[in-house]
Amino acid sequence: MGSTFKKYASYYDLIYQDKDYRDEIKYLEKIFAKYSQKKIRSILDIACGTGSHLLLLAERGYRLCGSDLSKDMTQIACLKADRKGLKVSIKGNMPMQQVNFRQTFDAVICMFAAIDYLTEIKDLQKTFAQVHKHLRPGGLFIFDIWNGIKFLTSHSPKRTKIVRAEGLRIRRVSTTKVMLLTNRAVISFDCAITKGGKIVEHFKEDHQVRYFFPAEITHFLEQEGFTLQAILPFMGFNQDACTNAWNLTFVAKRH
């Protein structure tokens, strides 16, 4: 795990420049309004990456803390926070299964299927237990995962994404190998970065992930002291659409 989101971190924001983080913040705020009795003021993002959700939320007046396993990702998040003059607390080298801020929050978020990087059930349990410690009673835990049901029937073994930004062309080929007996997958990223037709950088990173099923996530949430509020198709509210959704949003409340 230590070798992921290293080189990939430097190109992460360019690769995902088409991801609509602003819209995702609107979605989160709709979830806050619908599922929280008290107004949400403080938020912890336990896999904040380069800080895209965290910084947009801070700009909207929430008090934000964030952490991530990858220091390379959080360094970028800190630089972005400094540039925007935002006061946030961001910690790198901090696995979510050991997240520790010695305070509680109104909400904890874990976005873009970062939970899927927990390939061991014991790490999922540890993470849920740590999140529980960081929430006030009634606080919300919101995260999205790949939907195991959909993953099994329709993952793409090979995909190519090409983006152009800052004079660079980034070609990312992802190859996914599924291990059916362990619910795991290895996504091998092969990234070639060129400028004016010349290769600037070429690297490979293997990301080990796990696909989860809604029933098992619900089981472990309940085991660690949460009440499930909703399973939603990511960016939507129609619970009937869940079976077919590639990503699922979980909303859980701390007892």
Ligand X SMILES: C[S@@+](CC[C@H](N)C(=O)[O-])C[C@H]1O[C@@H](n2cnc3c(N)ncnc32)[C@H](O)[C@@H]1O
Q: How many residues bind ligand X (CB under 6 A)?
A: 17
Binding residue (CB under 6 A) for ligand X from 52, 130, 183, 229: 52
Nearer to ligand X by Cβ, of 176 and 194: the residue is 176
CB of 239 to ligand X, least distance (A): 23
Binding residue (CB under 6 A) for ligand X from 96, 135, 170, 245: 96
Say whether residue 69 binds ligand X (CB under 6 A). yes
Binding residue (CB under 6 A) for ligand X from 27, 32, 105, 112: 112
Say whether residue 10 binds ligand X (CB under 6 A). no
Bridge partner residues of 184 (DSSP): 179, 210
Q: Residue 28: which residues within 8 A CB-CB, separation 6 or more? A: 53, 57, 109, 142
Per DSSP, the three-state class of 60 is coil
Which runs of consecutive H residues, i.e. helices, occur in 107-183?
121-133, 148-154
Amino acid making up residue 74: T
Say whether residue 111 binds ligand X (CB under 6 A). yes
Q: Residue 164: which residues within 8 A CB-CB, separation 6 or more? A: 170
What is the C-alpha separation between 147 and 16, in angstroms, rounded?
20
Say whether residue 68 binds ligand X (CB under 6 A). yes
Binding residue (CB under 6 A) for ligand X from 57, 64, 88, 114: 114
Q: What sign has the CA pseudo-torsion 131, 22, 205, 93? A: negative
CB of 123 to ligand X, least distance (A): 7
Stretch in the footprint of ligand X (CB under 6 A) among 66-74, 81-89, 176-184, 226-234: 66-74
What is the C-alpha separation between 248 and 235, in angstroms, rounded?
9
CB of 181 to ligand X, least distance (A): 22
Binding residue (CB under 6 A) for ligand X from 11, 105, 117, 211: 117
Nearer to ligand X by Cβ, of 184 and 194: the residue is 184
CB of 53 to ligand X, least distance (A): 6
Cβ pair 63, 57 in contact under 8 A: no
Taking CB under 6 A as the criterion, which residues in 187-216 touch ligand X?
Answer: none
DSSP string of 165-232, one letter each residue:
ETTEEEEEEEEEEEETTTTEEEEEEEEEEEETTEEEEEEEEEEEEE-B-HHHHHHHHHHTTEEEEEEE
Q: Say if strands 158-165 and 89-91 run parallel, antiparallel, or are unpaired.
A: unpaired
Say whether residue 229 binds ligand X (CB under 6 A). no
CB of 141 to ligand X, least distance (A): 14
Binding site for ligand X (CB under 6 A): 5, 47-49, 52-53, 68-70, 73, 95-96, 111-112, 114, 117-118
